[in-house]
Structure 1
């Protein structure tokens, strides 16, 4: 999972059918758990386009997508926003949302 900028996210949504963008903050304990879940997901689905960003550096996304808290996983299908995930729960849960 690579660090993305806002422009990386926008470019990926224009060229990929399914894209996910993981937003976190470094001092968030729940974000650390969510990061581990997403690391497993990226190992299981290496072809899936998933980026991540510290929300402190992409603040415009917080406003644009009305991010309520972190961790947050933005999922877009065919350029259209499909879902904002705040409760990661498990690897299986995230895999289901990304299938």
Structure 2
């Protein structure tokens, strides 16, 4: 039996609104869809990076159920990793090249 807890929290739009309205320091939100193969690979890479205890709160959101943020944050394609620092978007990453690259972006 696998009892391992993911370090990446899945959020719905209401939870994402709450997150956007508080200052939690550094956060990263990976936008995906369930049937996107590239998204699954990006999520797996982010899960590996999460094991290194990067200084970011890590989240995942289904872009189909977060239309406000898709428009407000101008997300152009998926997967998209939105990096938030001090309540503002620091950058959006669309190309998840490797675990090492994601680690560098988040450290």
Higher-Rg structure is 2
Q: TM-score, normalised by structure 1?
A: 0.89
Q: Which sections of structure 2, spanning at least 5 residues, go unmatched? A: 1-7
Check if 1:42 corresponds to 2:47: no
**From 61, 65, 86, the counterpart of 2:69:** 61
1:21 and 1:50 in contact (8 A); partners too? yes
- Structure 1 residue 10 displacement after superposition: 4.0
What is aligned with 2:10?
A: 3
Q: Which sections of structure 1, spanning at least 5 residues, go unmatched? A: none
Distance in structure 1 (CA, Å) of the matches to 2:54 and 2:83: 16
- Superposed structure 1 runs of 4+ greater than 6 Å apart: none
What SS does structure 2 have at the residue aligned with 1:15? coil
Distance verdict in 2 for CA 1:83–1:46, change over 3 Å: closer
Supply the RMSD in Å over aligned alpha carbons: 1.6
Alignment of 1:1-99 (within 5 A): 1-13=8-20, 14-45=22-53, 48-99=56-107
Q: TM-score, normalised by structure 2?
A: 0.83
What SS does structure 2 have at the residue aligned with 1:75? strand
- Structure 1 residue 70 displacement after superposition: 0.3
Q: Whose helix proportion is higher, 1 or 2? A: 1
Number of positions where the alignment pairs a residue of Structure 1 with one of Structure 2: 99
2:27 and 2:84 in contact (8 A); partners too? yes
